[in-house]
Amino acid sequence: MVFFAFIFDNKTNDILYPRIAITILVGLVFTHILRELLVGLNLRPPIIKQKWLLLTVVVLSIIVLFNLANSAVVEWSKKYDPKIKVSVEKRFLYNLILDSPLILVWFSAYYIWHYVELGSKTEIQKARLESLVKELELKTIKSHINPHFIFNALNSIRALVDENPERARTAITALSNILRSSMQAEKLETVPFERELNIVKDYLALEHIRFEDRLRIEYDIDEDTLDQPVPPMMLQTLVENAIKHGIGKQKGGGLVRVISDYRDNNHELIVQNTGQMSAESATSDGFGISSTRNRLKLLFGGKATFAITNTQNDMVEAKVKMPVQEFHV
């Protein structure tokens, strides 16, 4: 208003600033009333379609009342030029044309602010919900992994109780070590690879008692990968599958090889076992394979891959590729 006064009149007069003050004060009163109506009538975003008519009526009513009050205060305080005095009705029409945009600008800014705020809250809630869903899914997968492993381990020990009690006691000690490590792993979504490898070594030591010379074990581990974070019990699950579906079905037993190395900026984790997958097994995912895929997807998204294939040297290879990461304890 000051800008246009200078542009068109090239000067200010005694009533300019009082008129601006009246407009500001009356505007503050009626925009406050408008806000209270929007809150009281639940007209803030988001609103249902049935309330758009009510919203329009409320906003237009406030605009009319604002301009009536503005005109009345100007008339009562005589803040007008006596030489060009107009009736209250005309002043009201002038104000309706010139000052109504002030209310509309305020209303637009108010609504845009709440829509932005609503969008931000929605995104935050969506992110929290996705995080919660992932956490619940991971806990569900873990709750399946541990009983699955314990069941197989106890079956191995049961077979040794009558045949060789001393070896059964050794197996129970190994199982105790595995369970202790497993319970600690439950507290984390990922663990250092070294901790996971120790669980696998205990597990293979237990299985070696059962299979004796039928089970051969090899490790090809790059020591630089020992600090890399991996999903807890994942490697153990892959090794368990290699024993159950590979070595356990070979009359003469076979080899289980665990490989950990860096390739193409990925941490590559490989479990190989003697044997070959049937066509039916290759197209169907058992619990161990499906749980591995799900955990990798939840933890790393599309950055991690898992594949299990037959190799040319009569071996089955389960390969996991995970992005190289810094692990923080």
The confidence band for 6, taking pLDDT boundaries of 50, 70 and 90, is: low
Average pLDDT over every residue of 246-264: 89
The confidence band for 329, taking pLDDT boundaries of 50, 70 and 90, is: very low
How far, in Å, CA of 306 to CA of 226, rounded?
20
C-alpha distance from residue 111 to each of 40, 56, 78, 122, 173 (Å): 15, 13, 36, 16, 67
How far, in Å, CA of 270 to CA of 264, rounded?
15
Average pLDDT over every residue of 244-264: 89
Average pLDDT over every residue of 175-194: 75
Residue 240 above 60 pLDDT? yes
- 262 forms beta bridges with 267
117 vs 87, which has greater pLDDT? 117
How far, in Å, CA of 160 to CA of 162, rounded?
6
How far, in Å, CA of 230 to CA of 195, rounded?
10
pLDDT tens per residue across span 118-133: 777 777 767 676 666 6
Residue 221: the pLDDT is 94
Residue 51: the pLDDT is 82
Average pLDDT over every residue of 33-57: 84
pTM equals 0.54
The confidence band for 144, taking pLDDT boundaries of 50, 70 and 90, is: low
The mean pLDDT of the chain is 80
Residue 268: the pLDDT is 95
Strand runs (DSSP E) across the chain, as ranges?
191-192, 215-221, 229-230, 254-263, 266-274, 305-310, 315-323
Residue 270 above 90 pLDDT? yes
Residue 287 above 90 pLDDT? no
pLDDT tens per residue across span 200-211: 998 888 888 778
CA contacts within 13 A on the Cβ side of 87: 3
Average pLDDT over every residue of 267-296: 77
179-188, 231-240, 263-272: least confidently modelled range: 179-188
The type of residue at 202 is: D
What the block records as the tokens of 118 is 């609503």
Residue 138: the pLDDT is 63
The confidence band for 232, taking pLDDT boundaries of 50, 70 and 90, is: confident
Look at residue 87 and give its three-state secondary structure: coil
13 vs 35, which has greater pLDDT? 35
Average pLDDT over every residue of 12-29: 81
Average pLDDT over every residue of 36-52: 82
50-54, 120-124, 196-200: least confidently modelled range: 120-124
Of all residues in the chain, what percent carry a pLDDT higher than 90? 17
Residue 306: the pLDDT is 93
Residue 291: the pLDDT is 76
Residue 185: the pLDDT is 59
Angle at 267 between CA 265 and CA 268, to 5 degrees: 115
Of all residues in the chain, what percent carry a pLDDT higher than 70? 80
Q: Report DSSP letters for 221-269, one per residue.
A: E-GGGTTSEE-TTHHHHHHHHIIIIIGGG-TT-EEEEEEEEEETTEEEE
Residue 123: the pLDDT is 73
Provide the pairing of β-strand 254-263 with 215-221: parallel
Phi, psi dihedral angles at 86 (to 5 degrees): -120, 170
